[in-house]
Structure 1
Amino acid sequence: MANSNGDFEIPKTCKAGVVMNEGPDFKVVVEDVPVPEPGDRFSLLTPPGPNDVLIKLNATGICYSDIHYMLNDLPIPKMSAFGVRSPGHEGAGVIVKLGSNVKNWKVGDRAGIKPAYDACFNCELCWSAKETYCDESTQIGLQFPGSYQQYVLSPARYTQSIPDGVDDFTAGPIMCSGSTIYCSLKESGLKPGDWAVFPGAGGGVGHMGVQLAKAMGMRVVGVDGGFEKKALCMKLGCEAFVDFTKVEDVAAEVVKICDGKGAHGVFVTATNASAYAAAPMMTRISGKVMCVGLPPTGTAIAGADPLLFVGKNLHVIGTKVGSLLDTQKALEFAARGLLKPIYEVYPLAKMPEAVAKLQSGQVAGRLVVDFNS
């Protein structure tokens, strides 16, 4: 809350969801943690400095990447190796304090944080809007305290502005999911009228991909399981839906729907081996398999027999979360009413329940935690 001078009253501690017992038996608990100061050292990767902003988050999305970090099932160091206890990378809120060098923000500005925490901005990748691939790009919620914590630091130069007309519960999930799938759609090069297929269409990333692809003029097919996912996908713009719990040969059904030739692009937002195995079979000649979802290490292969690659001129492309520009473009779709994340809101005290629900795979759309309830 701001005082009569327009300054925010910043507490010494704040609530945060912290992970206990990293690994297969992890759990999340809500407890008090210190509120950081701009310049505090929270990682061995960067020295303290006056170039940060302090953001009070109003909302955070819950992403399956958070589950991966807590399970330790990706080939990366543990959160605890960096002294981090709170994951999360889909935060939206308001700037409440500035580092002494910060000139491009003011207290009260709305701002968000994304999976990538910062980059060098002095290399070819950064100059070409691919800064998430920069060698010096670090990850919030892994190497720095993430958006499960209400007050978080963010480098001023890599903090995302949230446009008017996009509320925090919408903006939070777009910081990762919306940005990620916008980037993949852009990288695919698909054109209006092309067939775009989304294995995992009813999930947090997939359901935003359905909307964005529709807004870009593509013909959209959703692949997922269950009536709830089907209803969501058809409501959001799918021209057809294939239920993998009812259809024996999903790939054949997709090919049939897509003019009998297959999809121009298959955007694998699901995280299981079967989705990746089926994707190459869904494409037409010169089709593209876009790898988005992250399966646990060693559980899936993105590819097929080389004869299929040769015979279909098949392209397999991986894309990460989008750049600052990609995220801004996704937010602009939201501001125009063309991207509306479907979410269920949980109060902060029930964050552990939200995490458990997502881990169980029973979520249609996105789960968002309200820090103020």
Structure 2
Amino acid sequence: MKGDWPLPLKMPLVGGHEGAGIVVAKGDMASGIEIGDHAGIKWLNGSCLACEFCKTADEPLCAEQKLSGYTVDGTFQQYAIGKAAHVIKLPKDVAFDAIAPILCAGITVYKGLKESGARPGQTIAIVGAGGGLGSLAQQYAKAMGLRVIAIDGGDEKRSMCEQLGSEAYVDFTTSKDLVADVKAVTPEGLGAHAVLLLAASEKPFQQAVSYARPRGAIVAIGLPANAFLKAPVFESVIKMINIKGSYVGNRQDGVEAVDFFTRGLIKAPFKTASLEDLPKVFELMEQGKIAGRYVLKMPE
């Protein structure tokens, strides 16, 4: 192989954008990774490493970014290519299926928590807390010393969120006043210091300002189709609300997110399925019936 592209062997795979495997070949200029190493491929498959964004640790904003499963072939296959500078070297004693969700969902929510500016002891409301992103966001938040309010729907997700250590669970399917219910479980009823929006529908993006406390931060991560992030100007101004978007993490964010996992602080709730089961998994996803994450195992 030419250049700095290693070729990991794919084993368990998640979402088509990320996966973990064994390096079976490498480019003649690839460094920091060797054949036989265990490595992870992320959504951000590669970037130019020379532009202003890359040089200031904002590689996901690079105009020449390569995205797994979008602009380059993804990981719904037995072999996949990743740029050496962007793959993450993994400890060999870590199970591929267990760490695979960290390489996309884990890094994404970890970055969002950092972007929120929430400090240890403060409260963060996680909308979509029972999903693949949310289940990891709760654990990272707890590991970072934050107090978690989980917002989602249904008893299965309530049970999972409680097991993950959320201090309160607000069920949007049964709540008659979501804003009041969220504020009621925050210190002094003033609202959450930060809100992490992981939902796949638009309405939660319109509600967040109302239950964020003054000087609170709202971080949009979820990508509901054709949705808009709207907020009342008066309330946003007088409460000095900070509204921002957060994309995937940079290379260092990836290293840190994996380190939380290898230290035993994060356990991704997942189920394993074969590639043939993918259509059924998509159906469950569309119906909002997946708690945690699905890992697809490729045929050997």
Aligned-residue offset at 1:221: 0.4
Gaps of 5+ in 2: none
- 1:55 matches 2:8: yes
Q: Which amino acid aligns with 1:196?
A: I
Match of 2:214 in 1: 285
Q: Distance in 1 between matches of 2:91 and 2:211?
A: 37
Q: Distance in 1 between matches of 2:14 and 2:271?
A: 10
**1:303·1:316 contact (CA, 8 Å) conserved in 2?**
no
SS at match of 1:212: helix
Q: Distance in 2 between matches of 1:168 and 1:359?
A: 26
Q: Distance in 2 between matches of 1:241 and 1:136?
A: 41
1:152-167 equivalent positions in 2, closer than 5 A: 152-167=80-95
Match of 1:130 in 2: 58
1:266-285 equivalent positions in 2, closer than 5 A: 266-285=195-214
1:1-373 equivalent positions in 2, closer than 5 A: 38=1, 49-62=2-15, 88-259=16-187, 260-297=189-226, 300-372=227-299
How high is the TM-score relative to the length of structure 2?
0.96
How high is the TM-score relative to the length of structure 1?
0.78
Structure 1 residues 37-61: Cα deviation after superposition (integer angstroms, max 9, x where no partner): x4xxxxxxxxxx4321111111111
Gaps of 5+ in 1: 1-37, 39-48, 63-87
**2:4·2:31 contact (CA, 8 Å) conserved in 1?**
no
Q: Which amino acid aligns with 2:67?
A: Q
Aligned-residue offset at 1:270: 0.7
Aligned-residue offset at 1:209: 0.5
Q: Distance in 2 between matches of 1:333 and 1:103?
A: 24
Aligned-residue offset at 1:165: 4.2
Q: Distance in 2 between matches of 1:198 and 1:164?
A: 32
**1:284·1:312 contact (CA, 8 Å) conserved in 2?**
yes
SS at match of 1:174: helix
Q: Using the aligned pairs only, state the percent identity.
A: 36
Aligned-residue offset at 1:372: 4.4
Aligned-residue offset at 1:137: 1.3
Bigger radius of gyration among the two? 1
**1:94·1:111 contact (CA, 8 Å) conserved in 2?**
yes
Q: Distance in 2 between matches of 1:274 and 1:213?
A: 24
Aligned-residue offset at 1:341: 0.5
Q: Distance in 2 between matches of 1:165 and 1:303?
A: 46
Structure 1 residues 76-135: Cα deviation after superposition (integer angstroms, max 9, x where no partner): xxxxxxxxxxxx112111111112332432211001111112111112321222111111
Q: Distance in 1 between matches of 2:94 and 2:168?
A: 29
